[in-house]
């Protein structure tokens, strides 16, 4: 767990879907303590398909 990253980047209280996606994608790049939740990962993939951006992948 990247405790330093977690301490500097807490999940905001009552985050919007956009903020949750942003936080989880940043988290996946900086810490391997847990994967992106499956429901959120599905939503990210759906948004990328609808925007035509399939070059980046949710981990």
How far is it, in rounded angstroms, from Cα 3 to Cα 59? 20
Domain region containing 21: 17-46
User: Model confidence over 23-53: pLDDT tens digits?
Assistant: 999 999 999 899 999 999 999 999 989 887 5
- Answer yes or no: is 42 within a domain: yes
- Answer yes or no: is 7 within a domain: no
The domain total for the chain is: 1
10 three-state secondary structure = coil
How far is it, in rounded angstroms, from Cα 55 to Cα 26? 16
- Answer yes or no: is 40 within a domain: yes
According to the model, what pLDDT value does residue 38 have?
Answer: 96
- Answer yes or no: is 2 within a domain: no
Contact 20, 40 (CB under 8 A): yes
- Answer yes or no: is 3 within a domain: no
Please report how many Cα atoms fall inside a 13 Å half-sphere around the Cα of residue 52, on the Cβ side.
Answer: 0
According to the model, what pLDDT value does residue 10 have?
Answer: 96
According to the model, what pLDDT value does residue 57 have?
Answer: 53
- Answer yes or no: is 29 within a domain: yes
How far is it, in rounded angstroms, from Cα 37 to Cα 9? 18
């Amino acid at each position: 767990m990247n405790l330093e990253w977690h301490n500097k980047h807490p999940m905001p209280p009552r985050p919007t879907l956009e903020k949750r996606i942003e936080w989880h994608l940043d988290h996946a790049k900086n810490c391997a303590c847990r994967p992106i939740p499956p429901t959120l990962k599905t939503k990210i993939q759906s948004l990328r398909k609808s925007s035509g951006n399939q070059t980046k992948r949710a981990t």
